Amino acid sequence: MPELAVTVAVPKAREAARAGRKPVPPEELAVHVSIANPSDRSVPFNVLQAQHPSLALEVEGPSGMRVLLPPPSAPSEAELGRGEPIEPGSSVTLEYRAFLDPALGPGTFRARYVGRVPALGGTPDDPLVSDWVDFEVPPPPPWPKPWWPYPWRYAFDRLRRYIDIVLFWRKCRRVWEAEVDEAVSETITNAPPGSEAWNGTYGWRARFHLRIEQSTCRVIVTVRIRVTGAVTPAQQTAWETAIEGAWSNIFKLCAASRCCGNGYAIVADVQFVSSGEHQVVVAGASTVNMGNWGAADAVDVRHEFGHMLGALDEYFTVNGTDFGPGRQATGAIMNNPANAPVARHYELVRTQSQALMGAACTTKAAADPC
């Protein structure tokens, strides 16, 4: 439980609502955050870091869609430190102004403080979180009406329409690309008698290239693998076919954007390389972990590929969740390698895609509507 306590208020929005006035435009809203120390000891807190709304606030729009905030500026030395302690019984107040897009509205939005690191009062597993605070946002202002009379107004309107068409067309041809390299860990416990060897903490790096294409409505996840050991070209092809078949076109990302209204199909692409790899795989007699694959195996390698995308194991107890024995008939691929993945196995792909596109994404089955 975090030692600090946090409250959030949006006073101008509250006053406008009480007085029955129109909602305050987002660029005029200020979010007030108060961080208090009710404990009996000093608690470190970095006010400079907390002043960045994108580091400390979460904002959601109507229907719960996350509103992505602008990136913070490059940190200074002071912003990277643990900060100054908040003394017992003391508090600090932060005010966030002019960080919301003027074109945000309309609708009911909500904001809260979330500190997921010690410098912001919490930890990844136990963040410092305030209650949500609602505020209304008015419709964004329309394009300004030109003051010049007809026919110039007509000409301007036509020109604006053509600009919209061109920009819309260009928007649906965008491509985003990024290299993903994330540290992943899991702790397995509760292995049954005789399987205690599985209990322990494991770590690896999920590495892949992410490419999002609006023109084809696809998210292409490429893992470059350098193979050593004895494996034939046919066996390598069998690996590739098995993996791509298991992980491609099963799920899609539904993004809050005008393009690809039916979602971006997630496609897995395995490339075997001699250098510049994301992962090294040693071919051997059997598949025994993410880096050691059976040359003749085309089943368990599908599960190991899931680890390369950041998915965790789902047998025994993993990070506190009890999944039961491995290789259950109805288990998903991270429990039973012979079966299909489920949406949560693409979570790293989803969050990275969301960050790239700057639009909230949800993972859905390929056949489901967005």
Partner 1 sequence: MLQARLTVEPSRSARPEELRAEGTLTNVGDEPEEVRPALLASPSLALEITGRSGAPVPLPPPPVPGLEEANIRLAAGEEHRVVFASFAPAWLEPGGYRVRLRYRPSAQEPVVSDWVGFEVG
Identify which of 202, 194, 222, 224 has the alpha carbon closest to the alpha carbon of residue 325: 194
- Contacting partner 1 (CB under 8 A), which of 99, 156, 176, 198? 198
- Contacting partner 1 (CB under 8 A), which of 186, 213, 269, 347? 186
- Residue 166: how many other CB atoms lie within 10 Å: 10
* Nearer to partner 1 among residue 155 and residue 230 (C-beta): 230
> Judged by CB under 8 A, does residue 201 bind partner 1?
yes
Are the C-beta atoms of residues 217 and 263 closer than 8 Å to each other? Answer: yes
> Judged by CB under 8 A, does residue 324 bind partner 1?
no
- Contacting partner 1 (CB under 8 A), which of 289, 324, 340, 368? 289
Binding mask 112-131 for partner 1 (x = CB under 8 A): --------------------
Could you tell me which residues are beta bridge partners of residue 221?
210, 268
- Contacting partner 1 (CB under 8 A), which of 64, 193, 233, 369? 193
**In this chain, which stretch among 142-150, 213-221, 313-321, 343-351 interacts with partner 1, using CB under 8 A?**
313-321
Residue type, 285: A
Report helix, strand or coil for 2: coil
> Judged by CB under 8 A, does residue 345 bind partner 1?
no
* Nearer to partner 1 among residue 178 and residue 288 (C-beta): 288
Q: Where in 212-241 is the site for partner 1 (CB under 8 A)? A: 228-229
- Tell me the C-alpha distance between 48 and 186, whole Å: 33
Order the strands of the 5-9 sheet from edge to edge: 5-9, 30-36, 91-97
Shortest distance in whole angstroms from residue 67 CB to partner 1: 35
Q: Where in 244-283 is the site for partner 1 (CB under 8 A)? A: 279-280, 282
Binding mask 69-88 for partner 1 (x = CB under 8 A): --------------------
Q: Residue 269, exposed/middle/buried by CB under 10 A (0-12, 13-18, 19+)?
A: middle
- Tell me the C-alpha distance between 275 and 226, whole Å: 7
Give the DSSP H/E element, type plus range, for residue 356.
Answer: helix 347-357
> Judged by CB under 8 A, does residue 290 bind partner 1?
yes
- Contacting partner 1 (CB under 8 A), which of 190, 195, 248, 317? 195
> Judged by CB under 8 A, does residue 197 bind partner 1?
yes
- Contacting partner 1 (CB under 8 A), which of 16, 326, 348, 361? 326
> Judged by CB under 8 A, does residue 138 bind partner 1?
no
Are the C-beta atoms of residues 35 and 6 closer than 8 Å to each other? Answer: yes
Rounded to the nearest 5 percent, the helix, strand and coil shares of the chain are: 25, 35, 40
If you write DSSP's letter for every residue of 228-290 in order, what string do you get? EES--HHHHHHHHHHHHHHHSSSEEEEESSSS-TT-EEEEEEEEE-SSS-SEEEEEESS--BT
* Nearer to partner 1 among residue 110 and residue 302 (C-beta): 302
Could you tell me which residues are beta bridge partners of residue 182?
206
**Contacts with partner 1, residue ranges (CB under 8 A):** 185-186, 188, 191, 193-198, 201-205, 228-229, 279-280, 282, 284, 286-292, 300, 303, 307, 312-313, 315-316, 325-327, 335-337
